[in-house]
Amino acid sequence: MSQDLPTTSYALLGLLTFGDDLTGYELKQRADRTLRFYWVSPAMSQVYTELARLAGHGLVSARDAGPNKRSSKYRITAKGRRELATWLESEPVEFPTLKHPVALRLLIGHLVDPATTIGLLRDYLGSLAARRAELAQVRESLRGRDDLDQPFHHPSLVAEWGLEYFDSERDIVEKLLRRLEEQG
Amino acid sequence: MSQDLPTTSYALLGLLTFGDDLTGYELKQRADRTLRFYWVSPAMSQVYTELARLAGHGLVSARDAGPNKRSSKYRITAKGRRELATWLESEPVEFPTLKHPVALRLLIGHLVDPATTIGLLRDYLGSLAARRAELAQVRESLRGRDDLDQPFHHPSLVAEWGLEYFDSERDIVEKLLRRLEEQG
DNA sequence: ACAGCCATGTAACTCGTTACATGATTAC
DNA sequence: GTAATCATGTAACGAGTTACATGGCTGT
């Protein structure tokens, strides 16, 4: 029965488990707010492709709302919920993948002068702070709906995890930067 | 002059800047040891594809060594070094991408019982420790070749960054786990 | 002789992206 | 009226994977 879909498909399906029905467009917005920080934010076109696939497997159902067959809302089906729970329990869970262009550039730092590397890391600290602020705003927006029995309890746990990750990354890079500045 | 290759291509090219010439096979091994932790470890077939592309752009040169036209070693060219330095200085550097299947599953923890989520995180702590041990071994293997002016100075900085990341991730997950255990 | 590793490559395929096309609704 | 946003989709492409095919070299 287990369908074995790509992970992004399960991720989008998961975003439909919070008690509301969404259009493809709205689903993309939710992905931009949450999924982006620890998975990917799929392109608009892929959201529609995935919704069509999920509907083909009977994991979501489409319901027309607007007058012109537009704005159809998607709802997760009972089968979709079972499928998601099975996926969640399936072993083994893949190890996280990190694609870190900054670390990658630091690796070949011997090709350029130290000032370039230092500038690279300073820029990174800036974008890290900006990204952290975005996530902090998301976390704040869940306040009041994040109690133990409320739908956004787990999303808020994940958001807090992300904030701690950003803080730790900042600390590590700051320390590294001090080290490079002393050498250079 | 800037070629604008995929990042994996620059990454593999970067692995050829440490003073030795490598066969495709050896390059794959080096990627498995280092690149894997903060980028990806490309499939064997892709390594050969990328080497062919790099050679086509004149960024690496192939030199036959074996009798049967096999075991040809690849060496980065002067043009390749210039290209890499340009890439390193190019702005802006992309923000890291994290694909975190564990966080993704935690997000929809409301679909399963707490024990499942707790088990998931415990498993993750285990694989995290294993991965950290692998990286620690890599870092140790660089000792003696990691001084300021030596080729593996920057790789060792990156490895230490990775070790600190793993430690921080472990701390965050352990705290989260305690929180879930108290609730459940 | 056989296993296991070294070594290279092609073909088919999936995932996901960007570019493009189209049109409705809302706010000013 | 017109710009911005809402909304949905198709087509072409690129990056990267798995499966497959091939054969040499090394140790026991």
Average pLDDT over residues B156-162: 98
Structure confidence at residue A183 (pLDDT): 84
With contacts defined as CB-CB under 8 Å, which chain A residues touch B103?
Answer: 38-39, 96, 158, 161-162
Contact B116 A11 (CB under 8 A): no
Whether A152 and A145 have beta carbons less than 8 Å apart is answered as yes
Confidence band (pLDDT; 50, 70, 90) for B91?
confident
Mean pLDDT taken over chain A:
93
Contact B85 A34 (CB under 8 A): no
Structure confidence at residue A65 (pLDDT): 59
Confidence band (pLDDT; 50, 70, 90) for B156?
very high
Distance from CA of B148 to the nearest CA of A (A): 8
Average pLDDT over residues B98-125: 97
Average pLDDT over residues A126-148: 95
Whether A54 and A12 have beta carbons less than 8 Å apart is answered as yes
Contact B165 A161 (CB under 8 A): no
Distance from CA of A9 to the nearest CA of B (A): 12
Whether A162 and B127 have beta carbons less than 8 Å apart is answered as no
H helices present in chain A, as ranges: 7-14, 24-33, 44-56, 78-89, 101-107, 114-141, 153-183
B56 touches strand D (CB under 7 A): no
Average pLDDT over residues A42-50: 97
Distance from CA of B35 to the nearest CA of A (A): 8
Q: Which nucleotide is nearest to A40 (CA to C1')?
A: C16
For residue A38, give both structure tokens.
């620890």
Strand C bases within 7 angstroms of protein beta carbons? 6-11, 14-20, 24-25
| Position with higher pLDDT, B34 vs A64 | B34
- Contacts within 8 Å (CB) and 24+ apart, A41-47: A42/A8, A42/A12, A46/A8, A47/A12
Question: Residues 15-54 of A near strand D (Cβ < 7 Å)?
Answer: 23-26, 44-45, 48-49, 51-52
Whether B136 and B2 have beta carbons less than 8 Å apart is answered as no
Kindly state the helix (H) or strand (E) to which residue B42 belongs, with its residue range: none
Question: Does the pLDDT of residue A98 top 80, yes or no?
Answer: yes
- Contacts within 8 Å (CB) and 24+ apart, B29-36: B33/B138, B34/A107, B34/B138, B34/B155, B34/B158, B34/B159, B35/A104, B35/B11
| Position with higher pLDDT, B142 vs A70 | B142
Question: Does the pLDDT of residue B11 top 80, yes or no?
Answer: yes
Confidence band (pLDDT; 50, 70, 90) for A69?
low
Flag whether residue A122 sits within 8 Å of chain B, measured between CB atoms: no
Flag whether residue B170 sits within 8 Å of chain A, measured between CB atoms: no
A157-170 per-position pLDDT tens digit? 999 999 999 999 99
Confidence band (pLDDT; 50, 70, 90) for B183?
confident
Question: Does the pLDDT of residue A2 top 90, yes or no?
Answer: no
Question: Does the pLDDT of residue A66 top 80, yes or no?
Answer: no
Question: Does the pLDDT of residue B1 top 90, yes or no?
Answer: no
Count of residues in chain A: 184
Average pLDDT over residues A45-73: 85
CA distances from B71 to A33, B80, B102 (A): 49, 21, 41
B24-79 per-position pLDDT tens digit? 999 999 999 999 999 999 999 999 999 999 999 999 998 875 555 567 899 999 99
Closest residue of chain B to A81, computed from CA coordinates: B111
Confidence band (pLDDT; 50, 70, 90) for B172?
very high
In this prediction, what percent of chain A has a pLDDT beyond 70? 95
For residue A48, give both structure tokens.
């529609």
| Position with higher pLDDT, A90 vs A154 | A154
Flag whether residue B39 sits within 8 Å of chain A, measured between CB atoms: yes
Q: Which amino acid is at B8?
A: T
Average pLDDT over residues A51-57: 96
CA distances from A141 to A14, A136, A148, A166, B19 (A): 19, 9, 16, 18, 52
Question: Does the pLDDT of residue A100 top 80, yes or no?
Answer: yes
Flag whether residue A118 sits within 8 Å of chain B, measured between CB atoms: no
Question: Does the pLDDT of residue B2 top 90, yes or no?
Answer: no
Angle formed by the axes of helices A7-14 and A24-33, nearest 10°: 100
B9 touches strand D (CB under 7 A): yes
Flag whether residue A19 sits within 8 Å of chain B, measured between CB atoms: no
Question: Does the pLDDT of residue A126 top 70, yes or no?
Answer: yes
Contact A161 B103 (CB under 8 A): yes
Strand D bases within 7 angstroms of protein beta carbons? 6-11, 14-20, 24-25
Confidence band (pLDDT; 50, 70, 90) for A107?
very high
CB-based contacts of B44: which residues, under 8 Å, 6+ apart? B24, B25, B28
Q: Which nucleotide is nearest to B45 (CA to C1')?
A: C9
Average pLDDT over residues A91-120: 96
Mean pLDDT taken over chain B:
93
